[in-house]
Amino acid sequence: MIQSKNPATEKVLKTFQEISNEELEKKLVLAEKAFKSWKQTSFKERATLMRKLGEYLRSHTEEFSKLQMLEMGKTMKSGPAGIEKCGSLCDYYADNAENILKHEVLQTDQKEQYIEFDPLGVVLAIMPWNFPFWQVYRFAVPAIMAGNVGLLKHASNVPQCAEAIEESFRAVGFPEGVFQNLLLPSARVEALIRDPRVIAITLTGSEKAGSEVARVAGEEIKKVVLELGGSDPFVIFADVDIIKAAKTAVLARLQGNVGQSCISAKRFIVEESVEEEFMKAVVGEFSKLSVGDPSDKNIDIGPLATEQILLEVERQVKKSASLGAKVVYGGSRKKGKGYFYLPTVMTNVKKGIPVYDEEVFGPVLPIISFKTEAEAVQLANDTRYGLGASIFTSDMEKAKRIIPQIEAGNVCVNDMVKSDPRVPFGGIKKSGYGRELGTYGIKEFVNIKNVWFN
């Protein structure tokens, strides 16, 4: 049984039966059949439907924002921007996929030589709950524009969002089978990965889930893209406007999602001389934010998505405090129903405690001080993850000196890390491999075929 549960009220909204083996087989047959015809369509045909999908998403912004709010607690204040971003993603690939995937002509000693990019087939996406619409379209739009078809195994706590996404493709006229939702528990994913009709897999999720998917896909010799956890450093030098940096820091920590984002800044590495000023500034920013019912469009911070996440954040903060970190603001759950945790600021954070060593999926902002540029770089890289990093300094020579030393897939100077349909996104180390978005993302699920004539 798959449940849709409101994290603000703890009430079960709806229950779903997982699909049977017979139903799954029908969907796999349909996907394989759909690919054979879809790969023959022109980019113009695909783009026409993709633009319609973008329009459909925008016309259903309120409805989809509400679904996110009900199933995983995203506030109605922040929800619409995410749906609009999905629409812009559709527009970007509708406008650019053909040019990105056109033949790449090479000048060699052959009479004619070029690289062509052919679709692979049925791509399985295993997607998380934290951005239940954006994460799915981020995989599906470029993959489908390239000529592939998609199967979605969404997180089990957002089944209504998953159904709405499948309906969006159907509603604008995509052929049957080009995109299908599978109501499956995690226990049945391995068999699906091993099915010979599934050609490639993409997963956004935890390090543990990524490791398991990579193991099974490796045994089957199948292409995988993994976007996993992050413990992004947010490095602040004393030569910047600390008040402005603090405002961005709070936005970077929360990411419009109570800090439940792989690309949230999670370790705030601050030059010692401005540490106290920065701490007071972020406390001031947090104190302006309201915590409560996510359906209220004036509320800034809603609940965490599940009770399990709430308990884990509680454990991380309490354990860190017992090991010497100091809670200077927040540090507890909100009283009453729902999985609410108050925005929290911690100082005296050192290696060996959870809020330094682990990914914290909640509104906790730990401050770590440094004295030298070399120490700042060492602290930034002192994590098994490598998704993103922010550097705040007014000295661009310093920034350019540091950037090559940072172990991450994304580095932003004087700004927070965020994804954009136009640029590649992904990480290194335990944050995974492969890229999504931009020109690199759409080429992950194509056959890069060398062709020559002699």
Of 254, 264, 266, nearest to 290 by C-alpha is 254
272 is an active site residue? no
Of 342, 247, 357, nearest to 292 by C-alpha is 342
277 is an active site residue? no
CB atoms within 10 A of CB 70: 23
Q: List, in sequence order, the alpha helices (H) in 39-158.
A: 43-59, 61-72, 79-100, 134-145
Return left, alpha or beta for 150; rule: phi > 0 is left, psi -120 to 50 is alpha, else beta: beta
Question: Which candidate in 227, 271, 312, 444 is catalytic?
Answer: 227
Which pair of tokens denotes residue 380? 């930034």
Residue 13, C-beta contacts closer than 8 angstroms, at least 6 positions apart:
4, 5, 6, 70, 71, 160
Cα 390 to Cα 415: distance, rounded to the nearest angstrom: 7
Question: Which candidate in 86, 90, 262, 412 is catalytic?
Answer: 262
CB atoms within 10 A of CB 37: 12
Cα 173 to Cα 38: distance, rounded to the nearest angstrom: 13
Cα 140 to Cα 149: distance, rounded to the nearest angstrom: 8
Residue where the block lists tokens 């062509």: 116
Return left, alpha or beta for 93; rule: phi > 0 is left, psi -120 to 50 is alpha, else beta: alpha
Residue 428 is given by DSSP the state E
Cα 21 to Cα 39: distance, rounded to the nearest angstrom: 27
Residue 16, C-beta contacts closer than 8 angstroms, at least 6 positions apart:
1, 2, 3, 4, 159, 183
- Residues belonging to the active site: 227, 262
